[in-house]
Structure 1
């Protein structure tokens, strides 16, 4: 493709878009609110599929409506536009040549990588599209006083956040400079601070967008400037911020963070929201791990979506998506809303066409559900809309019309650790013209083997040959059936006749679990091994039965999935030996499962000499391996000549 053809692409995209909407322009005027007098089966079906949407008939689109304008003259819109404000630089008035140069660099996958200073226990890299010369200087931000905030957010921002820690200082400049961020160091302790930082940034973005539109509306209505003046200040549809969360309780926590940052005089439908989303967090006793309690305390329902609309003095819950500024949802709930009950003709993702900020919290917990839902949502972000939805194209920013909004979108992703799937999301869907930053811990001195209690149990990690990542499941299964299963069959029975061999096989993937379960059920090699099953799809009664049979020795082997552990965190008795079919993504799982043996030792159910742990891994598991054994050890274990490594 020639340079001239590259330059002409935006023009063609703009013309094609206008052509597609010619027929719908006549219907683009906002509809007036009206009272429904007759029953509508279609509306009833829509409400069934989208129960969190407001029931009123409102104008479908429009970045600012009459309700927004009420009291606008009292707003802090007298603030002068600051050319150094990241909102101006990235969204409102990006420099054309610079934007074009960075878009070309992204198309060629050209990124300049720089290390960012942070605390001694973390690693942080920043990638900017283009060459070293394209990388802007990085401004230090030590407190909220260094941020370009709307006046109404300054006082509460200072009160709640104040100064930033060294770890926060490595990501806050990227967040408020509209760079995408993958933060792989989220913990239960720092989660509230991260929520407040993200909420402050999101509200700041919405208020600046809203105030810019109201200002320009006033200019247009009073004809202050020439009639030829353009005011490019909008997207195709109103929603600008998408927040992906795991449970309704986590949604309630994020909303609380927003209302603490900004004190609204009125909160419409707040009681309905609390009744639907919030439950007291007193479900579990302290013997459950704190990360488990954070996920599942309160309302742990994981199918939801809700729109929030902001005006000067009010936040309105359960607003219709096309009238909302914020959309908060679980990936599953949002996918159900897009698919509209599975009818391709009703499928609608236009409300995601103008998303400028995506925040995903607890990505590690979300991955324990179904990561396909996350990928589905990101694939439907920032697509050109199928309908006009009353859009005023004379106000739409040029980079929307050119089909480049996905490269202006900022994505903030917070996770306790980084997985290959999360890494892929970073590479494919976080291609931001302002750059992207990845922050994760250095596990050299903070890995599980160094922090878990010293049980003096022999732990052997064995690397098997795996020619490719596609054939890795087959290579793993072959090694397990040829090297591990024969060893299990030869285990002696307890001399005292009590209990069994007590082999727990921890299997991270459900697909691997079904393969192994079928093998144990049908193979002649395992015909003399009695085994039980505990997966996320086994009902609680059957799980209790399997645990009881394993504890008493009726079952010598217990097949146990990673997701079953994630959702229940039980204390399994009778464990004397553990086989990790793969290294758990969550390092806490490794410590807890090995801890089952420690509990058996403490109860005198097994001699230490009869205990062991065996973990299988391939060269493709470096990320999960380093969280267990440490960063430097993982490098040697993945790339060295030896393939067996013993720890105690």
Structure 2
């Protein structure tokens, strides 16, 4: 049995019982700034008693970290060397600090580099947990009077939330490389992988259709191909148990060490359990009196803790590609995080309360939970999610986002691009301001074939319903959203190109999932700026595509001559002060301050 050093962050984090006074004393939080060439600037926030990390990482190899020897031998036998980014990142998460990293890229190897070291950390955590429990079990057999507290209420320790099945497949590849890659062939034969064939069938395949993605109807890019490579089904949940000699897939939630899920996949399971619990309670209470019903009403308040009891002892949460998850439904993600680490209301026969950690019994599990969030960009919503659920008493590492130096506006100087500041940011006030001050200006023949780009589906629905039900004005418009069928998309694009249509409403998620090249656009109006900075040039590029030119006829006194004139294409983007992060991705960090502090509300970017 491997011995574990007392300097191991695993022991110093999980075997330290924090003081209740420190929990309530939020004013003792301090923030320091660290930096490294690979990670950039890092803001570390923690209590005054927590030792801050060191950046850049002072060691060059993994031997200096408290990692299981079996994992180290697998990495050494593979011959792979960690990059400075991997070492710096691993040094932070290995010390069980919460991590927020918003600079993941989809066009190079950064995402895979981070995924590997995160998987190394998570497997190391699970193997250490299991080894410690087995070691204590052996000692208890020899001396039953010993007292050990090394468990939680349930077995699952790690929750991994990813958007697609392809992400699961790549994580499993990391697991297998760490567990199986060894020079000892006999040892490899002893490691058993259960249900491997079934996993390959359910999580493999699904390659991008090259025939329908040849660039004629869609704008292809390395970023798009990387996100949507492989199986992109977003409804799944996979339980995995890991031991030193086995890797078992498709385990039940109570027999799993890892739960790899999509937000909608786990939310569906929780809702099913909720419905079963309601049905059971209704059948049990069918013959009870009013007093019993009152008591049962109080018990329903704890339903969330009972249906999510298998999430009560989660110690590490890894959220990968948060930007892609935001294009699905973040409500599911918030719901899952809200139900983590709640004390089960009903004890099972398998719970040994004498082995449960004191801080878990006290309801402090959330204070020991590590949260790792990786995204391609940052936003106020992402930061809100991280700060809300990052409750780790060991501290939080917030990596500052990287903004392109000159943004995406400089290479697109062919067309006039107007950035207009609006005085409101609240969604309702913004909508009212838009329909009262912006929309009437564009609702003229001068602005026929105008694309209105909306990053929020709720704003899209609100504007669509307004145009549909407005009694004093009949709007000529079409719509494209993520819920549009292929037939509806084809029809809308055909009508918009060949006929006189005033507006085309398009959601950001529609562009994210399909990347269609919309022809016929003469003007673009950004209701708000795109979440992805690179979406801005992709949308503006639509102005360079062919469109049917309108013929204007001028009658003279002697002859009738037809002069074909084309109205100059325009691009207008609306922004508020609260859109500073989006502006930084589109315009570059240097231009944001000028736009937000200027006395002028409009700024025109031209090719002159």
Residue 86 of structure 1 and its aligned partner are, at CA, apart by 0.8
Question: Cα offset for 1:362?
Answer: 0.8
**2:255 paired residue among 323, 343, 347:** 323
For residue 30 of structure 2, the aligned residue among 106, 112, 134 is: 112
Distance 2:307 2:418 in 1: 51
Q: What SS is found at the alignment partner of 1:613?
A: strand
Q: Please tell me whether residue 357 in structure 1 is matched to residue 357 in structure 2.
A: no
C-alpha contact 2:89 2:114 (8 A) present in aligned 1: no
Matched position secondary structure for 1:117: strand
Query: 1:435 and 1:294 mapped to 2: Cα distance?
Result: 33
Indicate the residue corresponding to 1:216 in structure 2: 136
Q: What is the Cα deviation at residue 119 of structure 1? A: 2.8
Match for residue 85 of structure 1?
A: 8
Tell me the equivalent position of 1:487.
441
Q: Report Cα offsets for 1:298-336 as digits up to 9, x if no partner.
A: 221111111001122110111111011001100111111
TM-score normalized with structure 2 length: 0.84
1:239 is the counterpart of 2:156: yes
CA distance in 1, matches of 2:597, 2:429: 18
RMSD between aligned alpha carbons?
Answer: 2.6
1:464 matched to 2:432: no
Residue 298, structure 1, aligned to residue 230, structure 2: yes
CA contact (8 A) 1:117 1:124 kept: yes
TM-score, normalising length: structure 1: 0.79
Distance 2:21 2:80 in 1: 37
Please, which of 95, 116, 122 is the counterpart of residue 202 of structure 1? 122
Partners of 1:161 and 1:193 within 8 A in 2? no
Instruction: Flag the 1:104–1:161 CA change in 2: closer, same or farther, 3 A.
Output: farther
Asked if structure 2 preserves the Cα contact closer than 8 Å seen for 1:464 and 1:475, the reply is: no
Distance 1:607 1:381, change over 3 A: farther
Q: Does 1:262 align with 2:179?
A: yes
Give the deviation of 1:270 after TM superposition: 0.8
Q: Retained in 2: the 8 A contact 1:118–1:169?
A: no
The offset of 1:281, in angstroms, is 2.6
| Contact 1:502/1:556, CA 8 A, preserved across alignment | yes
1:397 to 341, 357, 364: 357
Give the 3-state SS of the residue equivalent to 2:520 in structure 1: coil
Match of 1:641 in 2: 599
Name the counterpart of 1:174. Answer: 92
CA contact (8 A) 1:161 1:196 kept: no
1-structure distance, mates of 2:199, 2:480 = 36
Shift of 1:121: 8.6
2:586 aligns to what SS in structure 1? helix
Which residue does 2:502 correspond to in 1? 556
Distance 2:79 2:602 in 1: 48
Q: How many angstroms apart in 2 are the aligned matches of 1:137 and 1:101? A: 24
- Which moves more between the two structures, 620-629 or 339-348? 339-348
How far 1:343 sits from its partner (Å)?
Answer: 0.9
1:273 is matched with: 199
* Inter-partner Cα distance in structure 1 for 2:131 and 2:33: 36
Name the structure 1 match of 2:183: none
Find the aligned partners of 1:311 and 1:137 in 2 and give their Cα distance: 30
Aligned counterparts of 1:526 and 1:168: Cα–Cα separation in 2: 58
**Structure 1 residue 371 and structure 2 residue 371: aligned?**
no
Name 2:113's counterpart in structure 1: 193
Paired with 1:379 and 1:639, the residues of 2 have a C-alpha distance of: 38
Alignment partners' CA distance in 2, 1:253 and 1:520:
45
Instruction: State the match for 2:342 in structure 1.
Output: 383
- Structure 2: runs of 5 or more not aligned: 181-187, 279-305, 552-563
Question: Structure 1's 120 and 186: CA in aligned 2 closer, same or farther, altered over 3 A?
Answer: closer
Mapping for residues 4-153 of structure 1, pairs under 5 Å: 77=1, 79-91=2-14, 93-94=15-16, 96=17, 100=20, 102-105=22-25, 108=26, 110-119=28-37, 122-128=40-46, 130-131=47-48, 134-138=50-54, 140-153=58-71
Deviation at 1:590, TM superposition (A): 1.3
The residue number in structure 2 matching 1:48 is none
- Distance, in Å, in 2 between the alignment partners of 1:402 and 1:306 is 30
Q: 1:329 to 1:137 in 2, by over 3 A?
A: closer
How has the CA–CA distance of structure 1 residues 441 and 164 changed in structure 2, closer, same or farther, with 3 Å as cutoff? farther
Aligned partners of 1:504, 1:169: CA distance in 2, in Å?
A: 46
Native 8 Å contact 1:460 1:615 kept in 2: yes
Which position in structure 2 is the counterpart of 1:571?
A: 517
2:118 and 2:39 map into 1 onto residues whose CA distance is 23
In the alignment, what sits opposite 2:288? none
Give 1:144 deviation, angstroms: 2.3
Counterpart Cα distance in 2 of 1:512 and 1:161: 51
